Amino acid sequence: MSMKPGYWPYLSSRMQGIEKTLIRRMNDLADPSCLDLGLGELRFPTPRAILDHVKENLDGWKLGYTPNEGYAELRRLIAEKSHFPVTPDRICVTVGAQEAILAVLMVTVDRGDEVLVPDPGFPAYASLVRLAGGEPRGYPLRPEAGFRLQADDVLAAVTARTKAVVLNSPNNPTGAVYGESELRALADGLRDASVLTISDEVYREISFGAPPASIASVADFGGRCAVIDSFSKSFCMTGWRIGWCAVPAELVKPLASFHQLSVTCAPAISQRAAIHALKGAADEERRRNVETLRVRRDLALKCLKEHTDLEPLLPEGAFYVFVNVAAKRALHGGSLEIALNLLAKEKVVTIPGIAFGERGEGWLRLSFAAEPEAIEEGIKRIGRFLAG
Sign of the dihedral defined by the CA atoms of residues 217, 218, 221, 227, in that order? negative
Beta strands in 37-153 (DSSP E): 91-94, 114-119, 135-140
**Radius of gyration from C-alpha coordinates of the chain:** 21
CA-closest candidate to residue 177, choices 151, 153, 201, 154: 201
Q: Cβ distance 81 to 318 under 8 Å?
A: no
Three-state secondary structure call for residue 141: coil
Q: How many CB atoms lie within 10 A of CB 62?
A: 8
User: Could you give the CA distance from residue 66 to residue 269 in angstroms, rounded to a whole number?
Assistant: 10
> How buried is 11 (Cβ within 10 angstroms: 0-12 exposed, 13-18 middle, 19+ buried)?
exposed
- Give me the pLDDT at residue 30, please: 87
Q: Cβ distance 170 to 177 under 8 Å?
A: yes
The string of DSSP codes covering 158-179 is --TTEEEEEEESS-TTT-----
CA-closest candidate to residue 178, choices 86, 59, 301, 316: 316
- Give me the pLDDT at residue 62, please: 93
For 307, phi and psi rounded to 5 degrees? -110, -5
Q: How far out from the chain centre does Cα 338 lie?
A: 24
User: Could you give the CA distance from residue 41 to residue 39 in angstroms, rounded to a whole number?
Assistant: 6
User: Could you give the CA distance from residue 345 to residue 233 in angstroms, rounded to a whole number?
Assistant: 31
pLDDT in tens, 9-24: 677 888 888 888 888 8
Q: Cβ distance 332 to 341 under 8 Å?
A: yes
All domains in the chain, ordered by first residue: 13-46+284-387 (3.90.1150.10), 59-281 (3.40.640.10)
CA dihedral 305, 309, 311, 312 (to 10 degrees): -50
Degrees, nearest 5: CA angle 23-232-174: 45
User: Could you give the CA distance from residue 385 to residue 211 in angstroms, rounded to a whole number?
Assistant: 37
User: Could you give the CA distance from residue 217 to residue 233 in angstroms, rounded to a whole number?
Assistant: 21
pLDDT-flagged residues of the chain (< 70): 1-9, 219-223
